[in-house]
A = this chain, B = another copy of it.
């Protein structure tokens, strides 16, 4: 991967995505003692950055592959992202989802014409059902985060951010499956002088933090975080990138996530999901070390259930 290849990824997906705005807040800058630039992927199509990676992955398939469709397992934003990207490109998307997923998430996938296949609510059942669809339909499997094309697509948010603000000292992202973090790291390597990438992670599901320290991909025993997009673990495609280049992973408590989310809602008047707030919570936690720096924060998405808020 090099700068030109990443630029090509961005150019390829541009017609399918929004260039999202970068917002700032004087008040939040004062609180942080730094200049914070929020890359607002909550305003992205389907409400999250995931459309970037999903689009890139589908566009990179051969015509023969496209004719047979794509399959993934996800109950969150990637399910919607792959469905919408597939619809735009004219490809079928099979989405394997646990039976017990809330109806609202199923409805969102159906809005984008994704074909839902229900399975038991455990990772083995999800993977088996996805394999079954691969064999039966010939569909191409696209993992939500552990796929090179997905990783490169997710990185394009940081390309736009660095194009607008080339002198960032840091970019903060949340880390869950690792796609956004690895993509952002690759972009920072090639599109900045010396911009470091730091991840925020819920303490409750700190598999990435532990992986970094053990050198192996660790998993979570708990899934007890409000940041429901960050309950998954890293994979063999993104972990080597993260292990080699991430500056650090900062763990944040649940109340710090909720406080950061509330601060953004109240002061910036934008709706961000808890996973997005994790990255900003890490900035707040680390602010003594960030004085007067220029900091990008990837606001990963804005899909929240308004009837179930933590305030």
Q: How far is the CB of A5 from chain B (nearest CB, A)?
A: 31
Is A271 engaged at the interface, CB distance under 8 Å to the other chain? yes
A270 contacts across to B, CB distance below 8 A? 269-271
Q: Which of the four size classes fits the interface of chain A?
A: 10 to 19
Pairwise interchain contact B47-A269, C-beta atoms closer than 8 A? yes
Cα–Cα, bound, A272→B270 (Å): 9
By beta carbon, the residue of chain B nearest A44 is B269
Assuming the contacts A270-B270, A271-B270, asked whether A265 and B306 have C-beta atoms less than 8 A apart, the reply is: yes
Is A42 engaged at the interface, CB distance under 8 Å to the other chain? yes
Is A43 engaged at the interface, CB distance under 8 Å to the other chain? yes
Pairwise interchain contact A269-B42, C-beta atoms closer than 8 A? yes
Is A309 engaged at the interface, CB distance under 8 Å to the other chain? yes
**Number of copies of this protein chain within its complex:** 2
A47 contacts across to B, CB distance below 8 A? 269
A269 contacts across to B, CB distance below 8 A? 42-43, 47, 270-272, 302
Is A68 engaged at the interface, CB distance under 8 Å to the other chain? no
Pairwise interchain contact B311-A306, C-beta atoms closer than 8 A? yes
Is A285 engaged at the interface, CB distance under 8 Å to the other chain? no
By beta carbon, the residue of chain B nearest A23 is B43
Contact pattern, A 65-95, Cβ under 8 Å of B = 1, otherwise 0: 0000000000000000000000000000000
Cα–Cα, bound, A98→B263 (Å): 27
Is A266 engaged at the interface, CB distance under 8 Å to the other chain? yes
Within A88-132, which residues are at the interface with B (CB < 8 Å)? none
Pairwise interchain contact A306-B271, C-beta atoms closer than 8 A? no
* Interface hub of A21, A47, A262, A270 (most chain B Cβ within 10 A): A270
A62 contacts across to B, CB distance below 8 A? none
Nearest 5 pairs between A and B by C-beta?
A: A269-B302, A306-B311, A269-B271, A42-B269, A307-B311
7 A-B pairs whose Cβ atoms sit less than 8 Å apart in the complex? A21-B21, A42-B269, A47-B269, A265-B306, A266-B306, A269-B271, A271-B271
